Structure 1
Amino acid sequence: MAMADNKQFESAGYRLSEATAGDFIQLLKPRVMSLVVFTAFVGLVAAPGTVNPFIAIVAIACIAVGAGASGALNMWYDAEIDAVMTRTRSRPIPAGRVQPGEALGFGLVLSALSTMTLGVFVNWLSAALLAFTIFFYAVVYTMWLKRLTPQNIVIGGAAGAFPPVIGWAAVTGAVSLESVILFLIIFLWTPPHFWALALFKSDDYARVGIPMMPNVAGEASTRRQIFAYAVVVAVVGVLPWTLGYTSAGYGVVAVGLGAGFVWYSWKVLRMQDGDREMKPAKALFAYSLLYLFAIFAAYMADAVFERAFAMGGA
C-alpha cells in the first residue's frame, strides 16, 4: 500500500526526497564552517570585556548556523555548475540526493533563525553583520560576482572575513580598528588562497564558464598577483603587534608565518608555464590554510595570556 502511495505521489509531479541527515549537513559546507566558527571564536575571545558563557555559546552557534545557511544557498544556486566540476559533482544536489527546493528552503530558514536568535539573545549589531554576511555571500558573490568578473574572489572574500568582526561585536556591541585588522587578514588572504586552487583546477572553471583569474588573465599574471597579495598579507598579519594590540610573542609568530606565505608564493611565482603537476600551487593552497589557522590561534593565545597576566598582576 505504501509503495502504491509513493508511486501516485511521484506520478503527480513530486519526487520523494532521498536525503539523509548527512546530506543536509554536507549542504552546510562543514569544512568551511569550521574555519568560520574558529575565526569568529577568536574575535569573541580577543574582544575587550567579558560575556556570559551562555551568550557566547549562542553567538558562536548562530554564526555557525548562519555560515551553514550561506553554504546551502550557494549550493542551491550553483547546482548546475557543481554537476560539471569534478571537485563538486558529488555534492548532494547534483548527485540527486537533495532537491533544489529543499536546499533553498533549508538555507532560508537557517538564515532567518540564526540572525533573529543572535539579535534577540546577543545584540542587533552582531545580528545585522551576520545577515549582511549571508546576503553578501549568497547574493552578491554567488549570484552576481562569481560569474561576472575574475575579481569575484577578491570582492567576495569579504563574506568570509566578517566572522571575527561578528564575534567581536557580540561582546562589545561595536566594531573597532582591531577587529577591522582581523577582517583585513582574512580578506587579503582569500585571493592567494583561492587562486592557488584555481591554478590547478582551471580546467574545471573553464568548463563551466566561471571567470577565475587563471582562465581570464593567464597563469603568469595570476602567479604575480598571488605573490603580491602574499606580501601584503604578511605585512598586515604583523599589524596587531606593530600597533600595540598584541605582545612581541604574537609578532614573532606572525613574522614567521608571513615569511612562509611569501616563500610558498615565491615558489608559485617561479613555476614554469604549462606545469601540469602544479606542486607549488598545491603546496601554497595547503600552507595558506595552516597560515590562517595558526595566525588566528596565535592571536587568541596572546589575548588569553595577556588577560591572565593582567589579572595575576592585579
Structure 2
Amino acid sequence: MTTLSERPAVQAGRLSARVRGYVALTKPRIIELLLVTTLPAMMLASGGLPPWELLLATMAGGTLAAAAANVFNCWYDRDIDRLMHRTERRPLVTGEVTPRAALVFGLVLTVLSIALLYAATTPLAAWLAAGAILYYAVLYTMVFKRYTRRSTEFGGVPGAAPVLIGWAAVTGTLAWPAVVFFGVVFCWQMPHFWALAMRFRADYARADVPMLPVVAGPLSVGRQTVAWTWLTVAVSLLLWPVADGFGIGWVYTGAAAVLGLWFIVEAHRLLRRIRAGAEARPMQLFHISISYMALLSVAIIVDVLV
C-alpha cells in the first residue's frame, strides 16, 4: 500500500513505463537504420546540404512514417511475437499497451507523417510515405511475412523507400540516381535480414513464420546471401556513372569498392563456415552489414560536400 507522499512517484513511474512502451512499439533502432539513407539521398538531390527546414521536416516526417508502419506491424504480429523469445517482451505481448491504443497510436502517427511531409516538403514525398506505410503494414505484415519464403525480398520495397522519399522531398520528382540508390538498399536487406533470421531461426520456426532460413537449408541460404551481397556491391558501383552529375566521384567510388570487398569477403566466410559444418556465426555478417550501409551513406555525403 502506497502513502500519499509516494503516490506521485508511483504515478510518474507508471507514466514513464507507458511512454517507454509506446516508444518501443515504433522500433527506434530500425528507424535509425532507415534514416541513415535519407540524408545522403537528399544531399544527392540538392547537390549539397538542403535547407535545414526541409531537412528537419523530411527527417521528422520519415521518422513518423516509419514509426507508424512499425506500430501496425507490432499490432498485427502480437500473436506470433509472444511465441518468439526475441519479441516476447514487446509492449503488446506484456500488456503495457492495449491493442486498441496501439492501433490508434499508429493511425495518429500515419496522419501526422503524411500531413507534415505534404505541407513542408512535396506531395510526392507524402504519397510515397503513405504507400510505404500501407505496403509494410498490409502487404508485408499481413500477407508476405506469413505466407511466403520470399517475404524479405517483398519487404525490401518499403525498407528502401526512405531513399525515394528523401529525393522526392527535395525535387518533387524521382530520377535515376534515386532509383539506383534505392536498388542498393533493397539488395542489401537480403544478406542483412537473412543473417538475423539465421541467428533466430528457431524463433521463426516456433512462430511458423516461413523466413528463408526456416524453409531452406543452411547451404542454400548461404549461397543466396552471397549472391545478394555481390548484387548489392554491383549496384552500389553503378551509382557512380549514374550520379556523376550529382556530385558522386572518386571518393564514393573508392569507398564503395573497399566497403563492398569487405562485405563480400564476410559473406563468403559465412558460406565457407556453413560448408565446413562449423558454427555459422551469422550475426557477424549482420553487424558488418550495418556498418557497410552506414559507411556507404557517409561516403555519399562526403563526396557531395567535397
TM-score normalised according to structure 2 size: 0.90
| Map of 2:25 onto structure 1 | 27
| Map of 1:119 onto structure 2 | 118
Deviation at 1:300, TM superposition (A): 1.4
| Map of 2:175 onto structure 1 | 176
The answer (yes or no) to whether the contact 1:18–1:98 under 8 Å persists in 2 is no
Q: Secondary structure at the match of 1:270?
A: helix
Deviation at 1:267, TM superposition (A): 0.9
- Matched AA of 1:34: E
Task: Report the Cα distance in structure 1 between the residues aligned to 2:163 and 2:56, rounded to whole angstroms.
Answer: 15
Q: Secondary structure at the match of 1:87?
A: coil
The answer (yes or no) to whether the contact 2:156–2:186 under 8 Å persists in 1 is yes
| Map of 2:202 onto structure 1 | 203
| Map of 1:64 onto structure 2 | 63
| Map of 2:260 onto structure 1 | 258
Deviation at 1:274, TM superposition (A): 9.4
Task: Report the Cα distance in structure 1 between the residues aligned to 2:128 and 2:170, rounded to whole angstroms.
Answer: 13
Task: Report the Cα distance in structure 2 between the residues aligned to 1:232 and 1:39, rounded to whole angstroms.
Answer: 18
Deviates more, 1:176-185 or 1:55-64: 55-64
Deviation at 1:304, TM superposition (A): 1.6
Deviates more, 1:45-54 or 1:215-224: 45-54
Cα displacement string for residues 231-263 of structure 1 (whole angstroms, at most 9, x for unaligned residues): 111111111224352111111100011111110
Task: Report the Cα distance in structure 1 between the residues aligned to 2:50 and 2:191, rounded to whole angstroms.
Answer: 35
| Map of 2:4 onto structure 1 | none
1:270 is the counterpart of 2:272: yes
From the superposition, tell whether residues 270 and 110 of structure 1 become closer, same or farther in structure 2 (CA, over 3 Å).
Answer: same
Indicate which of 30, 42, 46 corresponds to 2:40: 42
Task: Report the Cα distance in structure 2 between the residues aligned to 1:36 and 1:146, rounded to whole angstroms.
Answer: 19
The answer (yes or no) to whether the contact 2:42–2:167 under 8 Å persists in 1 is yes
Q: 1:191-230, aligned counterparts within 5 Å?
A: 191-230=190-229
The answer (yes or no) to whether the contact 1:46–1:304 under 8 Å persists in 2 is no
From the superposition, tell whether residues 98 and 236 of structure 1 become closer, same or farther in structure 2 (CA, over 3 Å).
Answer: same
Coordinate RMSD, CA, aligned: 1.9
- Matched AA of 1:39: T
| Map of 2:165 onto structure 1 | 166
Deviation at 1:52, TM superposition (A): 3.5
Task: Report the Cα distance in structure 1 between the residues aligned to 2:20 and 2:284, rounded to whole angstroms.
Answer: 30
Cα displacement string for residues 87-136 of structure 1 (whole angstroms, at most 9, x for unaligned residues): 11111111211111111110111001110221122111000000001111
The answer (yes or no) to whether the contact 2:41–2:164 under 8 Å persists in 1 is yes
Q: Secondary structure at the match of 2:205?
A: helix
| Map of 2:7 onto structure 1 | none
| Map of 2:297 onto structure 1 | 296
Cα displacement string for residues 256-312 of structure 1 (whole angstroms, at most 9, x for unaligned residues): 111111101101111236958432x1110110011111101111111122xxxxxxx
Deviates more, 1:266-275 or 1:226-235: 266-275
The answer (yes or no) to whether the contact 1:17–1:98 under 8 Å persists in 2 is no
Deviation at 1:37, TM superposition (A): 1.8
| Map of 1:286 onto structure 2 | 287
Task: Report the Cα distance in structure 2 between the residues aligned to 1:98 and 1:119, rounded to whole angstroms.
Answer: 30
Task: Report the Cα distance in structure 2 between the residues aligned to 1:162 and 1:80, rounded to whole angstroms.
Answer: 27
Task: Give unpaired runs (5+ residues) of structure 1.
Answer: 4-15, 306-314
